[in-house]
Structures are given as structure tokens and as C-alpha cells.
Amino acid sequence: MQKQWIIQGAFAALLTLTLTACSGNNPDTQEGQSAGVIDQAAIERLNATLGGFVESGHLAGASVLIFEGGQEVYFNTFGMADREAGVPMSRDTLVQIFSMTKPITGVAMLTLYEQGKLDLDDPVSKFVPELADVRVYAGTDEHGEMILEAPHREITIRDLTRHTAGFANSPDLPGVGPILAAEAPGAQENTLSEMAEKMARVPLYFQPGERWSYGPEVDVLALVVERVSGQPFDAYVREKILVPLKMRETSYFVSEEDRSRFAAVYERNGNGKLNRMPDALGQRLATQRWALTPGGYGLTSSLDDYMRFARMLVNEGELDGARILQPDTVRTMATNHLPDDVTDRSWLPHKGQVGFGVNVAVRLNPPASAEENNGTVGEFFWDGAASTLFWVDPENDLAAILFVQLLPFDEIGLHKAFRDAVYGPFSTEH
């Protein structure tokens, strides 16, 4: 997954990897399950699969939490949150969720949508006038000069939620890449407004609505939320989502007193060995206070905190008396908004037969073969740069979260194996 706006690689010394059993597991989630998706066979598959990844040295540590039918049906941890310090993964380990921030931003926007303060087809320039005069890269002329053209239509809020705005997403792109590198709109020192000013000076890489290309759209969506609500983005998210859901451990900044619970980030080298990234690099986003509060990444969370968010979604917008969204709005979030004629979808098809809703992928068809990612039609999900994953399965009233801190993004087939462990071997009857 391209994450050019996030963190670059670095290596630390490779030390011994150990596997630890989780303390404090709920025995009811480990034995005697027979009904639903997470039965005893699924529990055994999950334990063997996640334990195997750690024992083989592919992961330093992992933690998993699954709710089904409103009940916790599986929790376990494997290996180490900080291998070098000898700290095991635990239920209260804090991790960087990176792009799993995006669904939270989507929900924040949808609270304003419910209030009638914006519409998905509103032009972004209505709220972010800095982007009103953006131009589109159309190649170079015979003198090597960049050709720019007007957009065929304006960028809409819907484009931001489904990654079809056309924003440049890499300094390696022809033409626009060097401009993106020079402007550096995603630098952490920029506020969201400063980010937009700099983005406006970078031509779009393609016409709005013509392609799916994962980029900084959701960071712009955070600015829309900020402008429409009249509050700083992080303050609005805290007031409308985190506080009502009692998500006390989800934030952009990990305090000094909580850093003993903060998982280290590990990176696989070319030989498949794990190296710990220096904390000054691997944890820099969450251990300093930055001007930028991006909507697309940046939050840290714990298993139970993020599960409260996932359970709210599987419960159609409500949890423990706190209603965040109406059921119809959750269904809007979990509906595919990608038209069939958007055929250029970058790496999205690697997620399975999916479309895209409001900051989440949406499964449209069951897997056609054992090689495809497993899942259920109607499921919506997303993952993070450090190989974290969550999904909501409305058909089975199930929400699942996998926390690891592994870069580059899932080169080891972890997500496929985890899904197979949950749902069982491929069958044409699925």
C-alpha cells in the first residue's frame, strides 16, 4: 500500500523473538463455542494461525478481538509489543492504526451530513475554496512543458470519501511529482488549512471521478469537517465520536505515562527478518504534537477502544445508549459508491471483489476461489499501513480487529490467513 505521507523505513538491530500466551483471556471465548462463525474450530484456527506467524518470526506480536452477536467471542494476544524491552502484547497495548483513522473521519463527516450541513455531491470548493481553481495534469508538450487543463467537473465530497478526486499521491509521479515534493502539503508542520493551500498548487494527476487512487483525500475531508463544524477537527472527533463511545485511549498523541504500553514498529528487511524501527522514527507521529491532524492517518488506539467504534457500526450507529449515526446513514457509509465505469482502481482489487463506500471498502461478492481474501457480502472494512485490520460483517453481526505493527504493509499474507481462520476453508457455498 502506498503510504508516502506517513513514515519512511529504517532498521534497528534484530534480536530474539518470543511467543507469549495472553494472560487474562476470557475462558468463555476460548472453549465451548459452538454457534455462529466463531465456534471451537475457528478458535483453534485463530490460535494456530496467529501463533504460527509469531513463532516463525514473521511477526513480533499480534492481538485480536472479535465480537459476534453483541458478545465477545474471541480475544488473544501473541508475542511481543516491544521485543527488545521484553514487553508482551496485551489487551491494553496502544498501537498506531494509521489508515484505520479514515473510517472515524468518515463517521465525523456523516454526522454533519445527517444535520443537513453538507451533501455527498457538494463541491469541495464550497467548504475549501483554496481548491476552487485547481488544474489537471494532461502530459507535456513538444518542449517538455506541462500541459494543464480545467477539470471536467468539480471535486465533490463523494470523491474525497472514495478516492476519486485526482490528487497526486507520490513524488514519483511524472509531471506533478516534483511539485508535490516541493510543496509538501502533507508535512506534519502544516495545519489542515495550510495543507489545502499547498495542495492547490499541485495539479491533479487525473480528472475527478475517472480513477480510484489512494491518496490524501481523507485529509481534505478532515478540513471539510473542521470548516463545516467550526471546530478543530480533532476536537470535533473527540466530542462527537470518542467521548460518546467512551473511546478514552484513542488520540493523535500518546502521553509520556502511556508510552510503556505503546507498541514498537517492526520492519521486514529484504531477507524477511524483522528489525525494530528506532522509536524516534517509528513512533514520531504519536509522540510529538503536530500542527497537522490528518483525517487519513495518525490516530493511536487500543483493541477495546477501536472495538467500541466497530461495534457502533455493526449496531447500525449506536452503542450502549450513545447514538452516533442513524441506521440509514451507516448503510450509506457501507454502500458501494464507485461506478462500474471507474475501471482503473490501482491495487484495490487485491482486497477482493470490493467497491468503496465512505472511507471503507465494501465487499460486493463472495470469494470466487481459495486465493481471494475471505469474507461475507456486505462486509465493510479497512486496514492500516502497519498491517492492522478491522471489518464489520452485518450478516453475521460480527466485528473483528487485528492489531500488529509491521511494515511494509502485509507482505506475509497475514490478512488473508486471519480471514481464513475466522471464516474457515474456502467453499463455493460461502
Q: Is the same domain home to 251 and 220?
A: no
Q: Which residues pair with 393 in a beta bridge?
A: 398
Number of domains observed in the structure of the chain: 2
Task: Measure the CA–CA gap between 80 and 89, rounded to whole angstroms.
Answer: 5
Q: Say yes or no to pLDDT of 262 above 80.
A: yes
Percent with pLDDT over 90 in the chain: 89
The per-residue pLDDT for 137 is: 97
The per-residue pLDDT for 35 is: 67
Q: Is the same domain home to 276 and 372?
A: yes
Q: Say yes or no to pLDDT of 94 above 60.
A: yes
pLDDT tens, 235-246? 999 999 999 999
Q: What is the mean pLDDT of residues 288-295?
A: 98
Q: Is the same domain home to 176 and 321?
A: no
Task: Measure the CA–CA gap between 374 and 82, rounded to whole angstroms.
Answer: 30
In a domain, 5, yes or no: no
Task: Measure the CA–CA gap between 26 and 21, rounded to whole angstroms.
Answer: 13
In a domain, 22, yes or no: no
Q: Is the same domain home to 187 and 215?
A: yes
Q: Is the same domain home to 202 and 248?
A: no
pLDDT tens, 19-61? 233 333 443 444 444 569 999 999 999 999 999 999 999 999 9
In a domain, 157, yes or no: yes
Q: Which of 32-41, 219-228, 326-335 has the lowest mean pLDDT?
A: 32-41
Task: Measure the CA–CA gap between 286 and 252, rounded to whole angstroms.
Answer: 6
In terms of Cα–Cα distance, which of 114, 298, 96, 271 is closest to 195?
A: 298
The per-residue pLDDT for 15 is: 25
In terms of Cα–Cα distance, which of 246, 216, 240 is closest to 228?
A: 240
341-350 long-range contacts, CB within 8 A, separation 24+: 342/164, 342/209, 342/210, 342/211, 342/212, 344/210, 344/211, 344/212, 344/213, 345/211, 345/212, 346/211, 346/212, 346/213, 346/214, 347/1, 347/214, 348/212, 348/214
In a domain, 207, yes or no: yes
In a domain, 430, yes or no: no
Residue whose grid cell is 494509521 = 98
Q: Say yes or no to pLDDT of 306 above 50.
A: yes
Q: Is the same domain home to 190 and 73?
A: no
In a domain, 17, yes or no: no
Give the domain CATH number at 172. 1.20.58
Q: Is the same domain home to 150 and 211?
A: yes
Q: What is the mean pLDDT of residues 255-268?
A: 97
Band (pLDDT 50/70/90 cuts) for residue 144 is confident
Task: Measure the CA–CA gap between 283 and 289, rounded to whole angstroms.
Answer: 12
Q: Is the same domain home to 147 and 96?
A: no
Q: Is the same domain home to 206 and 279?
A: no
Q: What is the mean pLDDT of residues 113-133?
A: 98
Q: Which domain range does residue 196 map to?
A: 119-228
Q: Is the same domain home to 286 and 224?
A: no
Give the end of a domain, one of 203, 228, 253: 228
Mean pLDDT value across the chain: 92
Give the domain CATH number at 37. 3.40.710.10
In terms of Cα–Cα distance, which of 296, 352, 393 is closest to 6?
A: 296
Are 185 and 202 within 8 A, CB to CB? Answer: yes
Q: Is the same domain home to 188 and 209?
A: yes
